Structure 1
Amino acid sequence: MSTVAQKPHVQRPHVIVFANEKGGTGKSTTAVHVAIALEARGARVAAFDLDHRQRTMGRYLDNRAETGKRTGRELPIPRHATHDGESLARYTETLDALSVDTDFLVIDTPGRDDRFARMAAQRADTLVTPMNDSFVDFDLIGQVDPVTYKVTRPSFYAELIWDARKARAKADGSTIDWVVLRNRVQHIEARNMRRVSEALDQLAKRVGFRIIPGLGERVIYRELFPKGLTMLDAREFGEMGLAHVAARQELREMMAALALPEPVLPLFA
């Protein structure tokens, strides 16, 4: 865990929570890319990994720090910490410490039901739920008729987020911008993609979330993990192929679609 400075709190950061009770959706990879993209813009960013078992975000950022030391390059790295998964006091203290002098606080939650993930969801300003383009993933937020593929009802997780939004509104009058992010979209099985897309549109109108494009299914994202690199670093660490260019464009489009608040400084210069 990196050292977190204790200074007087000036302004509450914009909290971005990545949450999905299903694994394998690219949640942590997306969270890391968002955190580093914001840091590269010049924003003050902190990251909090709540998944003490997998610790993907924490290890990704640790790998990044090691790469910076090994190569002598200055890489944008958010302050970060990992929760122990048990202590409420540690959760609260770490959250408060990471919020000091911070523009954006990015929180990565476990891919399972977890009480700290629920608490983080209630604190979110932007709540991002990544999902793959399949009805297996869609089932997390909604159920469909097996013949017509029309949405029959929201699932438990959608109701949980609805409750989190109500609790947040009651607590401080704020709203949670719920974003469903379509990760790993395949360019095959067009009929299934269309059905998933139509079901998402139906459910979005019913429970109130936005749908945005995420990161594609590309080997490059997995290859970058051991060094802690992202597509932001591609130009510095090797020649860019067409896949790299496409991946950087995906990241640009995702960041724009998240519609996060200022500061907005040049990105991908």
Structure 2
Amino acid sequence: METTRQDEIPPPDGRRHDIEREAMSKKAHVIVVGNEKGGTGKSTISMHLIVSLLDRGLSVGSIDIDARQATLTRYIGNRAARQDRTELSLPIPEHMAIPPTGDASADCARLEEVFRDFAARHDVVVIDTPGSDHPMSRLGHSFADTLVTPLNDSLVDLDVLALVEPGSMKIRRPSHYAEMVWETKKARAMRGEKAVVDWIVLRNRLSTLDARNKRDMEKLLADLSKRVGFRVIPGLGERVIYRSMFLEGLTLIDLKKKPLGFDFNMSHVAARQELRTLVEAIGLGQPG
């Protein structure tokens, strides 16, 4: 895999404010893919965003702070290991995995160092975050210009965003993840950056969800979006192809290059349109 500078030394604590000032002068647009609930497809979405943006001619750096699970890192590794990578012209981002060490202060200093470097040299930085609350995850969220939160279309998964009254089906209050996003906006303001973050919630469709639950989800998300400030767009559907593409290091964008073993069909056309909707909602670059 390209550029894994694991021997860099984290900055001493006294340089933290210098790094924050330098981060404020970043040129990159920062996309954070985050949700404290696992199993929502964060790494799949991160990889597809990365390749879509590379395909649009943008320079991309990617940071995996979900590095204990390391799905994005393995995905990129699978891509780099393909023998036909050069033949198919498969672009790869500059990537860094930052596994937690148990020392939160050192972890955050390491993330700041890598982020500062990537933000100064790339058009876009994509940060894949863990499905849990961690100081490094909160710091990563605070860098976001765009926050993408994939959400399975179920009331169980909605719990990370809002507490819902079961009788009235009304929102009692925003939940812990929404509150964490609010706190990271305050952290941006304290650094002198704009506190406004373009927060996009992706509704990943579940084929098992009945019509009533879908209506409930639609109403609750519409109400919550006004309260906490996000917009909702359709997410990715349930498609077996995502699992097979992970093992091959491929994305929907690569299927137009006709890699061996993948026949392009109408299901892929629909899936690519879902991805295009997300990329266009973020609004970076032009289609390749």
TM-score where L is the length of structure 1? 0.91
Kindly report which structure 2 residues correspond to 1:63-78, keeping only aligned pairs within 5 A, or say none. Answer: 63-67=78-82, 69=84, 72-78=87-93
Q: Given that residues 186 and 217 in structure 1 are in contact (C-alpha distance below 8 angstroms), is that contact kept between their aligned partners in structure 2?
A: yes
Q: Which amino acid aligns with 1:3?
A: T
Equivalent position SS for 2:219: helix
Unaligned runs of 5+ in 2: 9-21, 102-106
Deviation digits for residues 175-206 of structure 1, max 9, x if unmatched?
Answer: 21111111234375111011011000001111
Contact in 1 for aligned 2:153/2:209 (Cα 8 Å)? no
Is 1:3 matched up with 2:3? yes
Q: How does 1:76-91 map to 2 (within 5 A)?
A: 76-86=91-101, 87-91=107-111
Distance 2:87 2:49 in 1: 23
Deviation at 1:107, TM superposition (A): 0.1
1:14 aligned residue (29, 53, 61)? 29
Residues of 2 paired with 1:57 and 1:4: CA distance?
14
Residue 140 (structure 1) aligns with: 160
Distance 1:199 1:70, change over 3 A: closer
Partner of 1:210: 231
- 1:89-108 alignment to 2 at 5 Å? 89-108=109-128
Give the superposed CA RMSD.
2.2
In structure 2, which of residues 173, 182, 188 is the aligned counterpart of residue 153 of structure 1?
173
Give the partner amino acid of 2:156.
V
Asked if residue 198 in structure 1 is aligned to residue 219 in structure 2, the reply is yes
**Percent identity over paired residues:** 47
Question: For structure 1, which runs of at least 5 residues remain unmatched after alignment?
Answer: none
Q: Which residue of 2 aligns with 1:56?
A: 71
Q: Which moved more, 1:42-51 or 1:187-196?
A: 187-196
Distance (whole Å) between structure 2 residues aligned to residue 68 and residue 179 of structure 1: 36
Relative to 1, partners in 2 of residues 1:257 and 1:185: Cα closer, same or farther, differing over 3 Å? farther
Contact 1:80–1:98 (CA under 8 A) maintained in structure 2: no
CA distance in structure 2 between the aligned counterparts of 1:218 and 1:164, rounded to whole angstroms? 33
Query: 2:108–2:135: 8 Å Cα contact kept in structure 1?
Result: no
**Residues 92 and 167 of structure 1, relative CA distance in 2, 3 Å threshold:** closer
Matching of residue 178 in structure 1 with residue 199 in structure 2: yes
Please identify, of 115-124 and 68-77, the stretch whose mean Cα deviation from structure 2 is larger.
68-77
TM-score (norm 2): 0.85
One-letter code of the match for 2:96? A
